[in-house]
Structure 1
Amino acid sequence: MKVFLTNATGYVGGAIARRLIHKGHRVVALLRTPQKADAMRALGIESLLGTLDETDKLAQAAATADAVIHTAYDYSGKTFADNVAKDRAVIAAFVGALAGTNKPLLVTSGSGMLGDTGSEPVSEEFPTDPLQPQDLLVRSLSERDTLRAAQRGVRSVLLRLPLYVYGNGGSTFIPAQLADAKQRGAAYRIGAGDNKLSAVHVEDLAELAMEKAPAGSLFNAANEHGITGRSIVDAVAQNLGVPARQVTAEEADAQEILPAWFRHWVFGNNQIDSKKAERLLGWTPAQRPGMVQDIASGSYKQ
């Protein structure tokens, strides 16, 4: 199967690309610069030079593929709404190219827009928090566009990721927390850090067998739950050999300890379960060290 993939050089996209190649698929990756083409070629991945702004080129690539996987997201706009508008234009280009073919279109999203999910992991039916900042709510439009593509004969699938995708020394939030703690000589948490979060190992995420997913379906992808903000900060402290300290939100603002939007996520409750993916797709994550252990003494220590 020929798969067109956005952001193959990214953390999640890269893991998916490697897994597709391992399964014997042909992968064509969208690249912004030719300098990355050699590295992709060494992995057996073909390249298409272009950007997310070139929707005609994206549509042409999608039309010649057997499946499209969209993991890229451009944060360069002046506002979050600009970023969402670009993402929706990309999705529209893919849907237009794939309409009536029943070919798969997989789009990744995140659980951040759900806001505070409470003390227990929630299913795909959990509503978006109307009190969330408007920019997060706007991103839900990309999710809606993806799911509605099923009405146009596209086997569209939305994969919602937890805030923490970890493993192989990568991720978004973990390196930022490590860098902040290293710079300050201490790892900080906001309040007691009793909030609970979900996570998934990037290789388990890449293993999801989306070939089986029905059109217009949404799946959560998280298999580790109950991770507290405090345990993450303690693991960061152990990794670096620095103390873990508690501050108030006001103190964090005054000392510029991590951006406010960052703290809003990692020190709030945000958990999603993956029972639907396990039941309908047969997703069985591997037995791996948990995220806290991986931060403290695993791939992030190495």
Structure 2
Amino acid sequence: MNIFLTGATGYIGSSVAVHLKNKGHAVYGLVRNPEKAAAVQALGIMPVVGTLDDVALLAQYAAQSDAVIHTADADHEQAVAVMLQALEGTGKTFIHTSGSSVVGDDALGATESPFIYDETTPFTPMDIRRARVALNERVLHAGRERGIRTVVIVPSMVYGQSLGLDVSSDQLPVVFRKSQEAGIGIYMGEGLNRWSNVHIADLVTLYQLALEQAPTGSYFFAENGEASYKELAGYVSEALGFGGATRSWPAGDALAELGDWARFALGSNSRVRALQARQLLGWQPAAAPVREWILSQKKQA
């Protein structure tokens, strides 16, 4: 299958691209920075130099591919609209990547939410995530009404070494960095907020299964366990040689340094269950749980 994948230099995108290439697919990867094209090509991915704003390029590669996997930007409405238009009426596959912060709250680390969401649970997103949820709905609607096989994959906190380029994930590297700077495991606020998590090796398998099997209009959370940020800080502290000791990073200080990203990425609760992926696709996560993986970084830290 010929696959056009956006975000080919990213953590999720390059990992998915390499996994699908290893499964025998031909992957054309959108590369924003021309200087990274050679590195992408070295992975066996055919680089397509351009950005999400290059609408003619997106339409061309979407139209000539058997499937499109969008991992570059969960909020880029124009790019998604262009690629859906190019695929309309073809029955081809469009997989859109979102993120489980869509169900997040504004706890600022102060509380553990009792709410756990599966793919069918109603929720009201924070204002900062309303547009993302609306875009997810437009993708799903296209699967029902526009002759496209659409899928939305919603990863939780992703961890593990990249399977593609040497790039890091999003949330845990910040915990590692701030903990290293402070000489103690760091969590935001009280650290009581909990996030579900998934290993990158299990996540790429979910993309493969979705590509091969998912019915149109499918929506899949991706998770295989959960932990509070205080627990994660303890694991990181052990990995860094700080004996598991932890300390609060006041929420106001975190927001001042990292902006609203800290609000939804470090301070919120995002507790989800990947029931549909397991039941509809037979997805069986098998990689190391988050605590085991963090502690395995002791030698590298």
TM-score under structure 1 length normalisation: 0.86
State the Cα RMSD in Å.
2.3
Measure how far apart 1:289 and its partner are.
Answer: 2.3
Measure how far apart 1:90 and its partner are.
Answer: 0.7
The equivalent of 1:81 in structure 2 is: none
Measure how far apart 1:108 and its partner are.
Answer: 0.5
**Alpha-carbon distance in structure 1 between the residues aligned to 2:299 and 2:263:** 21
The equivalent of 2:65 in structure 1 is: 65
Count of residues paired in the alignment: 284
**Alpha-carbon distance in structure 2 between the residues aligned to 1:257 and 1:293:** 29
Q: Which amino acid aligns with 2:102?
A: M
Measure how far apart 1:261 and its partner are.
Answer: 3.9
Q: Which of the numbers 73, 89, 93 marks the counterpart of 1:104? A: 93
CA 121–110 in structure 1, closer or farther in 2 if over 3 Å, else same: same
**Alpha-carbon distance in structure 2 between the residues aligned to 1:34 and 1:71:** 18
- Contact 2:175-2:187 within 8 A present in 1 as well: no
Unaligned segments of structure 2, at least 5 residues: 106-111, 163-167
Q: Which amino acid aligns with 2:90?
A: T
The equivalent of 2:169 in structure 1 is: 171
Determine if the alignment matches structure 1 residue 122 to structure 2 residue 121: no
SS at match of 1:207: helix
- Contact 2:8-2:30 within 8 A present in 1 as well: yes
**Alpha-carbon distance in structure 1 between the residues aligned to 2:38 and 2:71:** 21
Q: Which of the numbers 152, 156, 161 marks the counterpart of 2:155? A: 161
CA 199–253 in structure 1, closer or farther in 2 if over 3 Å, else same: closer
Measure how far apart 1:263 and its partner are.
Answer: 4.7
The equivalent of 2:108 in structure 1 is: none
- Contact 1:98-1:154 within 8 A present in 2 as well: yes
The equivalent of 1:220 in structure 2 is: 221
- Contact 1:200-1:221 within 8 A present in 2 as well: yes
SS at match of 1:220: strand
Measure how far apart 1:26 and its partner are.
Answer: 0.2
The equivalent of 1:4 in structure 2 is: 4
Q: Which of the numbers 189, 196, 205 marks the counterpart of 2:187? A: 189
Unaligned segments of structure 1, at least 5 residues: 75-83
**Alpha-carbon distance in structure 2 between the residues aligned to 1:179 and 1:52:** 30
**Alpha-carbon distance in structure 2 between the residues aligned to 1:281 and 1:264:** 29
Measure how far apart 1:264 and its partner are.
Answer: 4.6
**Alpha-carbon distance in structure 2 between the residues aligned to 1:34 and 1:21:** 21
**Alpha-carbon distance in structure 2 between the residues aligned to 1:253 and 1:299:** 25
Measure how far apart 1:143 and its partner are.
Answer: 0.5
The equivalent of 1:249 in structure 2 is: 251
